Amino acid sequence: MAISSFHTHIIGANRPVGKCLTRLLAEQNFMYKGVSLESRERQGLQSSGRPVYVLTPSVYNPEDFQHLEFWIDQARSEDAAIVLLSSMAVIEATNGTLVDETWHVFSDTQVAQHLLAIEELVRQNPQHLILRAGQVFSLMNDDFATRLLTAIRHEQILTVDMKRHIAPTPADDVAEVMLAMFKQASCADHLWGTYHFSGVEPVSSYAFAEALLSEARQYENLGAAELHSQEGGQVPYIWTPLSDNTLLFHSFGIKPKAWRKGLSRLIRQYYRVDMADSSVSV
């Protein structure tokens, strides 16, 4: 069944990946409806096609998790497919280890336990996709990139960890991958399941901060800012292990995505929005 025969409900359309996904669907003229996770609006059946519920919580908004069970129940009542954005944060792994979908050592953090419980609920639905994403950033919420930029502005001298590796993953790349996944899975039942995805080229937090500062300096005077590298310096407060993306790439024909291009794109978008907001007269 082609995606055009689906009516897509983006649950979490006010979250970074949800925002990116609604934009993609609009650009490609697909039928969709976006609501916030805390909404309790019953979506109802659409005569135009079978519903698919895409749940896009953010690990940086932990209150999102309490709303997911409602939407999973709603999807089941409509015999809808479910697509869940999860996180590599559910995994317990050592620094630098590439983790594939057969890995079964899980983190005991509160975020991980919430997401694992939600994953199990989603798996009870015959047609489901779960995407465990890496170190997602967007500059739209309280993610690592946002925290770094805020710290650079206010502290000027910032010490960032240079040992523990992360896989920066742009939110709009995650949205593109999710769309590609449920487009194809709707036509091939063997594709339903759990997959891992993150941006290519794992780096230290310090290297990511360097790239972020270099991009931001094109739009903002940050000449006094200094970055120092040190083991034990600033790292993402929700750290995600590195993912082996082989299964995802081979199953869906998705090409590796370079996070540096995504960083440049999202920084440009961030400053355009920021400048537009500041130019509005009051």
Average pLDDT, the chain: 92
* Residue 252: C-alpha distances to residues 29, 73, 255 (Å): 22, 28, 9
The ranges assigned to domains in the chain are 3-137+169-200+239-257
CA 90 remoteness from chain centre: 14
Give me the pLDDT at residue 50, please.
78
Kindly report the pTM of this predicted structure: 0.93
Residue 160 pairs in a beta bridge with 229, 234
Average of pLDDT values for 77-93?
Answer: 97
144-200 residue pLDDT tens = 999 999 999 998 899 999 999 999 999 999 999 999 999 999 889 899 999 999 999
The class that CATH gives domain 3-137+169-200+239-257 is alpha beta
